[in-house]
Amino acid sequence: MKKQTIQDRMALLREELRREHLSAFIFPTTDPHHSEYTVDHWRGLEWMSGFTGMTGTAVVTLESAALWTDSRYFVQAAEQLKGTEYQLMKPKMGGMPTVADWIASELFSLHSPHSTEIGVDGMLFSVSDVEQLKEELKQRGGITVRTNFDPLARIWRNRPQIPQNPVEIQPLEMAGEDAKSKLGRIRQALRQQHADGMLVTALDDIAWTLNLRGSDVHCHPVFVSYLLIASDRATLYVDKEKVSSEVKTYLKSQGVAIAGYSEVSSGLKDYFEYNILLDPDEVCYTLYQQVTRNIVRGTSPIAAVKTVKNKVGR
């Protein structure tokens, strides 16, 4: 089978954009957990552009494409984008447009009489990111943003799966404090923020809270999951194939139930009676939309809870 080129992939993307009546799509380098290091499954920007840097934003319209990255990757991006139609944008350099400015310019050019709706995958953008983007584009001609479409689900052939590596228990003598105690301290901090529940999306926070470790991300002891904490219960959303009977028994002893990773959306709806704290800088837009009421917008208390060291200094 002929190897796909970047241009082949862009052609497939544009077919989907036309089918969905969208004029452009934005690809970030983030994942649903706002991780600095992402697993291959969410490296859509790399697949669409060939750029392998850790930080970037790519925009593909029906007729053009551009990629923004920071100064650490200018040389790398220039080399990797050769032979593609991507224009390299260098933020903070004189005359370089922002993402919103460039989109508006492209959509309202004489050569692009298309719709004024663009798309993003709401699972890959935080609440704050989407709200800011919507406001910026609204001010630039009323461009709207659709957040419930992932074209890569249709066009990325042989897309890597989310890792299935097993979850392991961190020994208590290394952790210094059991998960039940940590959950208690988090709940106390939530009460101070007038919340009785929260969604934890940061993988390192989940691993720390539950004293669990994984190997889904290279050189980082984390595993792909979500954690819902409420005043009287907690649920870990993780691929159940990764959880041994030993880990299941351990989590039960710490007051933590287990549900499938993809069940987090329905799980949020089940917590409708709680005042759920959601950090708009960490929680993705799609999951935020699943909570129809009783949202407490605020900063996750886990970072502050972590600063209180236990007897082994952890």
What is the structure's pLDDT at 201? 98
Question: What is the pLDDT confidence band of residue 313, given thresholds at 50, 70 and 90?
Answer: low
Give the whole-angstrom CA distance, residue 72 versus residue 113. Answer: 36
Q: 146 near 117, Cβ under 8 Å? A: yes
DSSP letter for 166, please. Answer: P
Provide, rounded to the nearest whole percent, the portion of the chain with pLDDT above 70. Answer: 96
Question: What is the pLDDT confidence band of residue 305, given thresholds at 50, 70 and 90?
Answer: very high
Residue 115, pLDDT > 70, answer: no
Provide, rounded to the nearest whole percent, the portion of the chain with pLDDT above 90. Answer: 86
Amino acid identity for residue 134 in this structure:
K
Closest CA to 256 of 188, 309, 184: 184
Please list the residues that pair with 144 across neighbouring strands.
117
Half-sphere exposure of 212 (CA within 13 A, CB side): 33
* pLDDT tens per residue, range 11-40: 999 999 999 999 999 999 999 999 989 999
What is the structure's pLDDT at 94? 73
What is the structure's pLDDT at 96? 87
What is the structure's pLDDT at 312? 59
Question: Measured between alpha carbons, how far is residue 154 from residues 49, 149, 246, 263 in Å?
Answer: 17, 10, 37, 21
Give the whole-angstrom CA distance, residue 142 versus residue 103. Answer: 12
Using the structure block, give the residue that is written with the tokens 């005042």: 275
Residue 114, pLDDT > 60, answer: no
Pairing mode of beta strands 234-237, 226-230: antiparallel
Residue 91, pLDDT > 70, answer: yes
Q: 279 near 129, Cβ under 8 Å? A: no
Residue 84, pLDDT > 60, answer: yes
Helices (H), the chain: 6-19, 44-49, 74-80, 99-107, 127-138, 152-155, 172-175, 179-192, 203-210, 245-253, 264-270, 285-290, 302-306
pLDDT mean across residues, the chain? 93
What is the structure's pLDDT at 1? 59
Distance linking the first and last C-alpha atoms of the chain: 52
What is the structure's pLDDT at 112? 52
In this structure, the chain runs to a length of 314
What is the structure's pLDDT at 274? 84
Average pLDDT over residues 183-202: 96
What is the structure's pLDDT at 3? 82
Give the three-state DSSP class for 117. Answer: strand
Average pLDDT over residues 162-180: 95
Average pLDDT over residues 117-137: 98
Six token digits for residue 65:
């494409």
**Which element (helix H / strand E) includes 146?**
strand 144-146
Residue 235, pLDDT > 90, answer: yes
Question: What is the pLDDT confidence band of residue 126, given thresholds at 50, 70 and 90?
Answer: very high
What is the structure's pLDDT at 311? 61
Average pLDDT over residues 193-202: 96
Question: Measured between alpha carbons, how far is residue 157 from residues 11, 12, 22 in Å?
Answer: 14, 11, 22
Largest CA distance in the chain: 67
3-state DSSP percent of the chain in helix, strand and coil, to 5: 35, 20, 45
**Backbone φ, ψ for residue 221 (5° rounding):** -80, 55
- Per-residue HEC secondary structure of 8-55 comes to HHHHHHHHHHHHCCCCEEEEECCCCCCCCCCCHHHCHHHHHHCCCCCC
